Amino acid sequence: MCGRYVSVSTPDEIASAFDADEQPEQALEPSWNVAPTDDIYVVLERDGHREVAEHHWGLVPFWATSPAIGSKMINARADGLATKAAFKDSFARKRCIVPADGFYEWRAVPGQKVKQPYLITRRTGEPLAFAGLWASWRAPGADAADRLRSATIVTTTPNELMATLHDRMPVILPASVWDEWLDPGNADVEELARLLVPAPEDVLQMLPVSTEVNSVRNQGAHLIEPVDPAAEQGSLLDPEATGG
């Protein structure tokens, strides 16, 4: 799965990386610890133009009776996109890219209750392009302009690197397929499904980071700094050394 990630690139930087020519007027705050239900950036195509837009993390399908369902829809399994009611409309017509500067995953440590977090990034330092779906939801009786736009991150089986941490990983799209994925006129779900494969493991690197990232309250660039896992786990025995 993908339940926490890093988003510190500005809208300008995201637009440049993904060849978008529109972006939000007001930027989100940089986040080294993006959590479910936060507002996030997505890249999507509308009227032949790519744009960077703000969406709520946690898909709220158009038919939902409440936006609360979004907290359970932060990820969408690739093998269920074409058949599950929550995702099939978005898969056919509303696909996006969720740009990320890295994401976190956790590994159990023998003899310890607290798992060790790892930061996964692209080896080249370029942003990751998570395959995403988006939706637009309006509360019954609300004004047509008052819509909640939301998104989810598509996950697939892990490559060998990620399999050491978890049995799922986000789909990371190479630049060569961005046009195909983002084209809202492309409804060939069988061909699109073939894009939803694990990224080659040599594309990614993973580094142990502070257990401070375990709490969504914690922020700051220090969260992505590499640590010595043995020293980090040892510090957990000292209550004054924990990040809260």
The catalytic residue positions are 2, 105
CB 40 within 8 A of CB 151: yes
Q: Which tokens belong to 241?
A: 């050394």
DSSP sequence for 105-131: EEE--TT-SSPEEEEEEETT-PPEEEE
Distance from CA of residue 107 to its chain's centroid? 19
Strand duo 5-7 + 49-57: pairing = unpaired
In angstroms, rounded to a whole number, what is the distance separating the alpha carbons of residues 242 and 244? 6
Q: Which helix (H) or strand (E) holds 169?
A: strand 169-170
Q: Which helix (H) or strand (E) holds 44?
A: strand 39-46
Q: Which tokens belong to 238?
A: 């000292």
CB 198 within 8 A of CB 156: yes
Q: Which tokens belong to 8?
A: 């510190």
DSSP annotation of 199 reads P
CB 233 within 8 A of CB 143: no
